């Protein structure tokens, strides 16, 4: 059974289809958005090996002429060099503005392919076919596209909404447990931000989600996508409520930058640690109870998402470097750090002008 979640953005509206077997139907679903009947698939080497034959057969069956551009896997691809390489591939292949780009992979591919589509010839439509749990529940929805720079994660990018998102749950069965845990961090985030009942459901069902049990997995993906869709509808360009989706991410992005954006620390792992840090710092400031902060940390640890900065991959972390990276975060204003903190589970809020001295002391306590 396929469930469809609309993202209502007026002229930029689109649907997110969630279910099994969508990859085999991709051609017929994509065809209305490819007036030239020409499709440029951007993927990585791992996804191409596992899933490209099914997608290409579907595109061929729909009489869509298609080309595949295969990039190296990993966060390192999200760079100026990777973006230039992809844009030049598209241009040399003769792409025009009536063609369609298909981002076929995880968050890295979705980010760089969406950004290239938004830039080449001043904008080409694209479709997201996310193949990781993290990409299905988070990065494929909302139109954020970007590359990383030495100064920070996702510092160069734009908002370019897809025309369609196809989240085939069946492809998740090929993911290693580590990737499933990364995606789970973005699922549980929805409960921590605004739905205490969903967090309680996660505590009871997280193992089923990570182990790809069909009913639990479908429920979690639909719940997370619907939550994000409503936030994006209310605040597409992150001027208000959408900032709540950054719960844990100011910490997480600093951790990733500190660790060098390699495979040692994946984005979802950094988010898991960031969520625990956001609640621990909230408790330290007297905003939420220490018991709730412990509850969040205990749950994340139990799901294999390490929350101890002393042993987190990429350690040792330096509190002063962490603070400098956080001060340079995209959400900072006039040099003041902006955090998303919590009053309780399910009640997150944006906290501007965070006290740097208190934050440094908190980080020192977590790291030493």
pLDDT tens digits along 183-224: 999 999 999 999 999 999 999 999 999 999 999 999 999 999
Per cent of the chain over pLDDT 70 is 100
* CATH 3.40.50.300 is the classification of domain 177-367: no
Q: Average per-residue pLDDT in the chain?
A: 96
What pLDDT is attached to residue 359?
97
The yes-or-no answer on residue 219 being catalytic is no
Query: Is 242 an active-site residue?
Result: yes
Helix-then-strand count for the chain, H and E: 13, 11
Asked whether the beta carbons of 143 and 236 are under 8 A apart, the reply is yes
Looking at residue 328, its pLDDT comes to 87
Kind of pairing between the strands at 164-168 and 14-19? parallel
- Partners of 18 in beta bridges: 3, 167
Of 51, 144, 160, 163, which residue is the catalytic one?
Answer: 144
How deeply is 356 buried, as exposed, middle or buried, from its count of CB atoms within 10 A (0-12, 13-18, 19+)? middle
List 51, 163, 223, 249, catalytic entry: 249
Instruction: DSSP for 190-224, please give it.
Output: HHHHH-HHHHHHHHHHHHHHHTT-HHHHHHHHHHH
Catalytic residue among 153, 160, 242, 297: 242
Range list for CATH 3.40.50.1970 in the chain? 3-174
Q: Which helix (H) or strand (E) element contains residue 321? A: helix 319-327
Does the N-terminal peptide bond of residue 316 adopt cis geometry, omega within 30 degrees of 0? yes
Which one of the listed residues 78, 223, 267, 297 is annotated catalytic? Answer: 267
**pLDDT of residue 77 exceeding 80:** yes
CA 330/CA 183 separation, integer angstroms: 23
Angle between helices 356-367 and 267-284 (to 10 degrees): 120
Catalytic residue, from 78, 181, 228, 258: name it: 228
Among the listed residues 153, 160, 223, 253, the single catalytic one is: 253
pLDDT number for residue 333: 80
H or E element, residue 152: strand 152-159
Phi-psi region of 43 (alpha: psi -120 to 50; beta: other; left: phi over 0): beta
At 68 the three-state DSSP class reads strand
Candidate list 75, 154, 181, 186, residue with the active-site label: 186
Contact by Cβ (8 Å): 341, 351: yes
Is 151 part of the annotated catalytic residue set?
A: no
135 pLDDT exceeds 90?
yes
| Catalytic choice (51, 154, 181, 238) | 238
pLDDT at site 8: 98
Residue 281 and residue 158 in contact, taking contact as beta carbons nearer than 8 Å: no
Of 246, 269, 299, 331, which one is the catalytic site residue? 246
Q: What is the CA radius of gyration of the chain?
A: 20
Q: Is 253 part of the annotated catalytic residue set?
A: yes
**Residue range(s) of every CATH 1.20.1090.10 domain in the chain:** 177-367
pTM of the model: 0.95
Average pLDDT over residues 108-125: 98
Specify whether the CB–CB gap between 75 and 110 falls below 8 A. Answer: no
* pLDDT tens by residue, 256-289: 999 998 889 999 999 999 999 999 999 999 999 9
Quick check: helix, strand or coil at residue 354?
coil
- What is the pLDDT, as a whole number, of residue 1? 85
CATH topology of domain 3-174: Rossmann fold (3.40.50)
Q: What is the mean pLDDT of residues 291-317?
A: 97
């Amino acid at each position: 059974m396929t469930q469809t979640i609309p993202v209502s953005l007026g002229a930029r509206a689109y649907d997110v289809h969630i279910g099994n077997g969508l990859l085999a139907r991709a051609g017929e679903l994509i065809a209305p958005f490819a007036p030239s009947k020409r499709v440029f698939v951007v993927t990585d080497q791992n996804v191409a090996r596992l899933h490209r034959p099914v997608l290409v057969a579907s595109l061929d069956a729909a009489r869509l002429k298609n080309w595949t551009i295969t990039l190296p896997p990993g966060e390192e691809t999200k760079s100026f060099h990777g973006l230039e390489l992809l844009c030049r591939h598209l241009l040399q292949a003769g792409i025009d503005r009536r063609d369609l780009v298909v981002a076929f992979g995880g968050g890295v591919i979705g980010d760089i392919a969406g950004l290239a589509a938004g830039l080449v010839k001043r904008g080409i439509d694209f479709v997201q076919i996310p193949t990781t749990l993290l990409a299905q529940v988070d990065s494929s929805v909302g139109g954020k596209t970007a590359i990383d720079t030495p100064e920070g994660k996702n510092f160069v990018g734009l908002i370019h909404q897809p025309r369609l998102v196809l989240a085939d749950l069946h492809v998740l069965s090929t993911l290693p447990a580590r990737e499933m845990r990364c995606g789970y961090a973005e699922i549980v985030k929805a409960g921590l931000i605004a739905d205490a009942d969903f967090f309680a459901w996660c505590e009871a069902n997280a193992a089923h989600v990570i182990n790809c049990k069909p009913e639990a997995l479908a429920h979690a993906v639909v719940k997370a996508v619907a939550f994000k869709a409503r936030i994006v509808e209310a605040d597409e360009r992150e001027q208000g409520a959408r900032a709540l989706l950054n719960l844990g991410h100011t910490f997480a992005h600093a951790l990733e930058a500190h660790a060098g954006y390699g495979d040692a620390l994946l984005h979802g792992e950094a988010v898991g640690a960031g969520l625990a840090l956001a609640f621990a710092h909230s408790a330290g400031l007297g905003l939420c109870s220490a018991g709730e902060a412990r509850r969040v940390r205990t749950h994340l640890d139990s799901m294999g998402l390490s929350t101890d900065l002393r042993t987190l991959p990429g350690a040792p972390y330096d509190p002063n470097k962490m603070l400098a990276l956080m001060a340079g975060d995209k959400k900072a204003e006039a040099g003041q750090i902006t955090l998303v903190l919590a009053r309780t589970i399910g009640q997150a809020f944006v906290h501007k002008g965070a006290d740097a001295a208190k934050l440094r002391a908190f980080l020192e306590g977590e790291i030493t």
